[in-house]
Amino acid sequence: MSIYVCGPTVYNFIHIGNARPVIVFDTLRRYFESKGNVVRFASNFTDVDDKIIQKAIAEGKPELEISSRYIEAFLKDVADLGSKTDYIQPKVTEYMAPIIAYIDHLVQTGYAYVVEGDVYFRVSKIEEYGHLSNRKIDDLQSGSRVEINEKKENPLDFALWKKTKEGITWESNFGPGRPGWHTECCVMIDEIFGGAIDIHGGGADLIFPHHENEIAQSVATHQHGIASFWMHNGRLNIEGNDSEEKMSKSAGSIVWVKDLKDKLAFRLYVLATHYRAPLNFSFTHLETYEKEFQKMTQTIHAMKRKLDLANELVGDSAHQEDLASIRERFDAALELDFNTPNAITELQALLKSMNILLRQPFDAALWRQALVYADEMTEILGLQVPYSPLSLADKELFDRWDDARKNKDFAKADEVRGELQKKGLL
């Protein structure tokens, strides 16, 4: 199975809007993997771009120093958000030769044309243009959002190569310059996956023009589209701001991922909304999810610790079916249009059952089964809570606490309790 997600332009840290696809598509990958699929997952780094060049000029540093700084920062954020970092990470600068060859081929076959060192794609040659975004070419042409450029045959034509003298440039048959943004994903998908993939992901803001333009280039090059399925995550708006766009434009209203204090709680928050729906972020809601995530962690830890402390393994498998049906409903939710909010509801149901079990007589088999499900479900959602089994010394401490309470030695019990708390075990 192959998944490709359009990645970041690395000229700054990422804000919480940028984090949404990072969380959504990592969870999708995890779900497919939990079902036994081998998933080849790629997401690119746009490390050549006007914004990177502007930053390089402003700081007096080479572009590659800027991009590698923010690639490193991005991957740290990705890991902190509970997403996997072991995916294929193509960079534009490493794909320049195939990108130039790809554009050259489009020119040779009449799908692109050169004007004074710039290269543009001839959109009128693609009948399917506009299908993905459900737009008509005529409407697009008369739309005011299309920039006017005298050099283009048609206002919808998009740049494949830009002639420039500013910043980093590459040599090509069309002259020195750098590629436009829309070609890199096509070339990377060609080089990594051989021309087509199962699922192409990205933010809904990329549907037009970026993904339309990817399809157009693929149709021109291979006579077929680029992906069997397209998945687009909805926008993330900050309450009080009317759009994500506004967040990226006005510095004061940006919420950086690196500044979030509990990044897994933010992940829970993101997944609690269906991936296609808009998400209205507020700090009040975030606090609710921080508390919720803390509660989840406490329940799982409490059960693991009590199992650690159990001397004998007793119990039967009565009630296991109730837990098994929760586990089944969890998968069913994801199977049906990747409904993570419903999956989270099932995880909450499991945790509620675990809290009831914790108050009932010890049942090792049942508890272990509950924990297997909790681990599987949190692993799929990327919400695993690390747990270190109790050491022998810690177990002895719990025993001393127990003994003191049994002997009604409350001063001693309090003292041991304090020690346990200090070690973070209570």
Report the residue number, 202 or 234, with the smaller CB distance to Zn ion. 202
Q: How far is CA 264 from CA 290, 341, 381, in A?
A: 8, 15, 10
Q: From edge to edge, which strands make up the β-sheet containing 118-121?
A: 112-115, 118-121, 159-163, 177-179
Report the residue number, 132 or 286, with the smaller CB distance to Zn ion. 132
- Counting residues that bind Zn ion (by CB under 5 A) gives 2
One DSSP character per residue, 199-246 reads EEEEEGGGIIIIIHHHHHHHHHHHSS-SEEEEEEEPPEEETTSS-HHH
Show contacts with Zn ion in window 154-193 (CB under 5 A): 185
Show contacts with Zn ion in window 301-330 (CB under 5 A): none
Q: Which of 6, 350, 374, 404 binds Zn ion (CB under 5 A)?
A: 6
Report the residue number, 198 or 419, with the smaller CB distance to Zn ion. 198
Least separation, in Å, of the C-beta of 99 and Zn ion?
A: 13
Least separation, in Å, of the C-beta of 218 and Zn ion?
A: 11
Least separation, in Å, of the C-beta of 185 and Zn ion?
A: 3
Handedness of CA 87, 182, 248, 268 (dihedral sign): negative
Least separation, in Å, of the C-beta of 194 and Zn ion?
A: 17
Report the residue number, 185 or 220, with the smaller CB distance to Zn ion. 185
Distance in angstroms between the alpha carbons of the first and the last residue of the chain: 44
Report the residue number, 103 or 333, with the smaller CB distance to Zn ion. 103
Question: Binding pattern to Zn ion, positions 241-280, x when CB under 5 A?
Answer: ----------------------------------------
Least separation, in Å, of the C-beta of 188 and Zn ion?
A: 8
Report the distance separating Cα 120 and Cα 126, nearest Å: 14
Is there a contact between 234 and 279 (Cβ–Cβ < 8 Å)? yes
Q: Residue 179 — φ and ψ, nearest 5°? A: -75, 155
Report the residue number, 185 or 333, with the smaller CB distance to Zn ion. 185
Q: Does 5 bind Zn ion (CB under 5 A)?
A: no
Q: Which residue has the tokens 């509990």?
A: 262
Report the residue number, 13 or 181, with the smaller CB distance to Zn ion. 181
Question: Between the CA atoms of 287, 289, 294 and 296, what dihedral angle is there, to the nearest 10 degrees?
Answer: 160
Least separation, in Å, of the C-beta of 371 and Zn ion?
A: 40
**Type of residue at 379:** E
Least separation, in Å, of the C-beta of 74 and Zn ion?
A: 16
User: Where along the sequence are the contacts to Zn ion (CB under 5 A)?
Assistant: 6, 185
